[in-house]
Amino acid sequence: MKLALRAGERSRGKCSPNPFVGAVIENGGKIVGEGNTQPYGQDHAEIVAIKDAGGKCKGATLYVSMEPCCIFGKTPPCTEAIIKAGIRRVVVGILDPNPLVSGKGIKALREAGIEVEHGLFAEEITEQMEYYICYVQRKRPFVIWKSALSLDGKYCASDGSSKWISNPASRKFVHKTRSQVEVVLAGIRSVAHDDAMLNARGLRSAKQPLRVILDPTLDISLSSKLVASAEEFPAMIMYIQAEESKIQGLQDKGLQLKQISGYKDELDLKAVMDLLYEMKLYSVLLETGNRLSEAFWKAKLVDKCMIFYGNMILGGDKGVLKRYDRHNIDRAVPLERIKVKKLQDNVLVTGYPQL
């Protein structure tokens, strides 16, 4: 099953809205087939593994991180292929949270005389599949809030400078994360301040995320790096209202534009999440300044935190989430399942807020 988990990771960020499942086929003590979920509309992991194993499937054991599907979607049911291949035993990590499948895939296999076990490495797989589980159960993308801070919690110096709080190892980790999510989302203020690109760089053949900018009145400059790179890297701007000439100018540059409901200069974040859900995108990396970050926190739309701490003390008043004031220590938001990773002289803390 560990091999199946590793196989599934190869599809992270590349197959939404399907889960990035891994599958391994063992026969006679040897691995005879392996697969991972292909891009949406193509083969699921089980099918890839069965094709890889060929005739060696007969009497074999299939290890798969998530319950095989039993419904027709973009592809036929995986359960039918498993039964037809002559696989004798199936070991499943977790049940599919999709109510159309949950438990039914296992039932179909057992009714065909196949021995089925499930629950192996369930905790690890549940965390691995967190994007998909959120998408299915909450009907919205999974949101990761990322911040780079000094050791005393400042996001920039008093004069507004922030390059670089984090070191090259931390920035490389961020670019890798960008390549593993469907959406990198930011507000217009942070994009304009840094003339940010928000794409994945410095990685060999990296998958590029959709760059989404929340820009209520389309203030983005036509000469910005993000606009200039729209033909090469996908980008979308969500806005409330704007002049037709600016809309046309951005569309001519290759940007997608989506008009979203909002109030004054704030977009409706539920509408933003609903649109991304309708687009079948299930993971968002939130890379933005304080105002939009605070809005996501207040709307209880942060599912995971990634906080990079640089090896410096800045002082001053540039504290993060200043207007997301919990007022009392008893109202502080606890983080669970904390993990700490050292990145040279930086530290990455990840955790899950209990909102």
289 within 8 A of 187, measured Cβ to Cβ: yes
Contact residues for 344 (Cβ-Cβ < 8 A; gap 6+) = 167, 168, 169
Q: How deeply is 91 buried, as exposed, middle or buried, from its count of CB atoms within 10 A (0-12, 13-18, 19+)?
A: buried
Q: How far is CA 337 from CA 46, 122, 203, 343, in A?
A: 30, 15, 29, 19
Candidates 26, 34, 46, 182; catalytic one: 46
Task: Report how far residue 351's alpha carbon sits from residue 335's, in angstroms, rounded to the nearest whole number.
Answer: 5
Phi and psi (nearest 5°) for 245? Answer: -65, -40
221 within 8 A of 253, measured Cβ to Cβ: no
Task: Report how far residue 95's alpha carbon sits from residue 80's, in angstroms, rounded to the nearest whole number.
Answer: 17
Torsion of CA 127, 309, 180, 94, to 10 degrees: 0
Instruction: Say whether 240 sits in a helix, a strand or coil.
Output: coil
Contact residues for 329 (Cβ-Cβ < 8 A; gap 6+) = none
Structure tokens at 181: 């999510």
Task: Report how far residue 166's alpha carbon sits from residue 149's, in angstroms, rounded to the nearest whole number.
Answer: 8
Task: Report how far residue 166's alpha carbon sits from residue 347's, in angstroms, rounded to the nearest whole number.
Answer: 9
Task: Report how far residue 40's alpha carbon sits from residue 57's, in angstroms, rounded to the nearest whole number.
Answer: 25
Check if 46 is active-site. yes
Please give the angle made by the CA atoms of 319, 320 and 326, to the nearest 5 degrees: 100
Q: How many Cα neighbours within 13 Å face the side chain of 139?
A: 4
Catalytic residues: 46
